[in-house]
Amino acid sequence: MLEAYTFIKRNFMEPTEKINALEEQIVALIKTQTEFTSKALLILSLGVKNIYSKEEAALFLNLDPDYLYQLKHHNKIKAYKKKGQKKIYFKKEDLENYVLSDSDETGYDDFEEEITSKWKK
């Protein structure tokens, strides 16, 4: 139904309206492509970096940045920061150790169960 409406609308549009509609679509496509390219480059860069920002570390672990911060806060993952700065950093080695660390049979330890149950509310 929507496709038929779009088809009819396009056929009865003035040429300037068609050009404007095409320009809007092109701008949207460029924006999507730019976002995709940025994310792809970020993901590729993770393989060669040894120090990650909170956002990069979260992407590396496929976790929410806030959840990663909770892991850091509860000393499940080691984080670093320069004196006098607020931004925290993570070593790739520490992130890999977290992923490879032992956990119970369900795949979650008590801390993770507690945090995820709070998020479900």
Q: At residue 5, does pLDDT exceed 70? A: no
Q: At residue 111, does pLDDT exceed 70? A: no
Q: How confident is the model at residue 105 (pLDDT cuts 50, 70, 90)?
A: very low
Q: So what's the pLDDT on residue 40?
A: 87
Question: What sign results for the dihedral spanned by CA atoms 91, 89, 107, 48?
Answer: negative
Residues 6+ apart with CB under 8 A from 59: 42, 43, 46
Q: At residue 83, does pLDDT exceed 70? A: yes
- Long-range contacts from 104-112, C-beta under 8 angstroms, 24+ separation: 111/71, 111/74, 111/76
Q: At residue 37, does pLDDT exceed 90? A: yes
Residues 6+ apart with CB under 8 A from 51: 89, 90, 91, 92
Give the β-pairing of 89-91 and 51-53.
Answer: antiparallel
Instruction: State pLDDT tens for residues 65-81.
Output: 999 989 998 889 999 99
**Average pLDDT over the chain, rounded to an integer:** 82
